[in-house]
Amino acid sequence: MSNEQKIDSLQKGALTAGWLKFMIGSLIGVAVYFIPFFWMGTRSIFIDHVVTTITFYAPGFAEVVTLLLIVIGGGHPFYAKSWNKGFSSCILSVLKVAGGFLGVMAFFQMGPDWLLGEEMLPLLFYSIAMPVALLIPIGSVFLTFLVDYGLLSFLGVFLKPVMRPVWKVPGVAAVNIVASFVGSFSVGIFMTDQLYREGRYTMKEAAIVLTGFSTVSTAFMVIIAKNLALMHIWHLFFGTTLIITFAVTAITARIYPLRNIPSTYVHQEKEERKHQEDEENQGLFLSAFSLALKEAESNRYLFENIKYNLKEGVRMSLRFLPLILSIGMIVFILARKTLFFDGMAYVLYPFLDWLRIPEPMLVAKAISTAGAEVLMPSLILATVDVPVAARFVTGVVSISSVLFLSGTIPCIIGTSVPISMKNIFAILLERIILTLLILSPMLILLS
């Protein structure tokens, strides 16, 4: 065999190996993250079923893991000596310590009766923090099949003509969107943080994805629809929520504060990725497929990748789990023990009345809590007799606002993407206002 034939044979072998890695890795990633199926009476994706199975058959193990992550996360800023690096670091460190104490109180059932009521600390610990504490590390193990074997590179090129002009993000953002909708916002946020640190997103792109596409899962949407008695128009509700969420994100990506976030990569040299993406001149599919095969073929260390992603998943859990308890507890106290959100409702009332939203005062009170807890608006109207249109508005706003203090906001703060709380609240307000403006003319369908 001549040298040319040997080289040709080696190239074909490498191409075949790359193709197999791309196909097998991508199929595993898609199956784990995106294909829902029934298990134990619920329909969800594989990693969510794993979490459900663990919490059902080994609740003690799940509780201990959650407590350890919360307590270690609460003390980590002081161990790492990062607590005094700035005013925001000090505040977050105090909140993390408070979260650690709250975790201990929830686990050992220590504290006043009002704090240990079913709708207070136990709800935060068992219904919100515990699933997230398991979901992120377990999800991170399988993340390597989505990230490291060519699927993201393929989608990044193939979907660029749609994603970049409309939402100003690369095609890989489509994976984040699907991960949030069929899985969990925490999985989508973790994935975004990972891609940002790998240089696949700029700071601005990561901020757009985090604040615009980190929605609650479809399962959460079903719960909201049930609370609001909207299941008889589920498809209309789900479709409207989807369209409005994406439309609002297309607008917020172009206005303050997202517009002013710099388009820089976490490592400056990574900018060549974007130039490489922009320089693809082949046919779209062939270009995407070629890039995916190159990445899959060059990736040889499966267990090293899994180890790295698991380590990063645990690190992220340590950063935001204590915040879920401390910030969530503050929000719950304000919502259930004070008139804070009633006062906010009076601010929103004139705007809703001007838009001719039915029962504007009740709806204003409900959606004023959307930034606190995603389920709270639907719970407020669950026992009240109001028109379908009022319930519909409340449900859509609670989902399309994306950002809420007992879930997505602590997770976003825990990422490597530097988004200030001021900007997060500005985006939240924009999303609520834009959702109401876009949705109000559509309410004629429900009249």
Q: Which two tokens stand for residue 361?
A: 């005062």
Predicted confidence band of residue 417 (pLDDT cuts 50, 70, 90):
very high
Q: Per-residue pLDDT tens for 81-118?
A: 877 777 777 888 898 999 999 999 999 999 898 888 87
When the pLDDT of each residue in the chain is averaged and rounded to a whole number, the result is: 83
- Which residue, among 31, 77, 23, 121, has the nearest Cα to 329 in the 3D structure? 121
pTM of the entire predicted model:
0.73
Q: How many CA atoms lie within 13 A of 111 on its CB side?
A: 16
How far is CA 212 from each of CA 178, 199, 396, rounded to the nearest angstrom? 13, 20, 14
CB atoms within 10 A of CB 302: 14
Residue 237, pLDDT > 70, answer yes
Domain boundaries of the chain, sorted by first residue:
7-446
Residue where the block lists tokens 């993000």: 169
Predicted confidence band of residue 134 (pLDDT cuts 50, 70, 90):
confident
Q: Which region among 100-104, 140-144, 342-346 has the lowest average model confidence (pLDDT)?
A: 140-144
Predicted confidence band of residue 3 (pLDDT cuts 50, 70, 90):
very low
Q: How many CA atoms lie within 13 A of 97 on its CB side?
A: 9
248/244 Cα distance (integer angstroms): 6
197/194 Cα distance (integer angstroms): 5
Residue 245, pLDDT > 50, answer yes
Residue 10, pLDDT > 50, answer no
Helical spans, DSSP H, in 46-110? 46-57, 59-79, 87-108
309/32 Cα distance (integer angstroms): 15
- Which residue, among 313, 302, 32, has the nearest Cα to 144 in the 3D structure? 302
Q: Which two tokens stand for residue 271?
A: 């900018």
Residue 165, Cβ density class (10 Å: 0-12 exposed, 13-18 middle, ≥19 buried): exposed
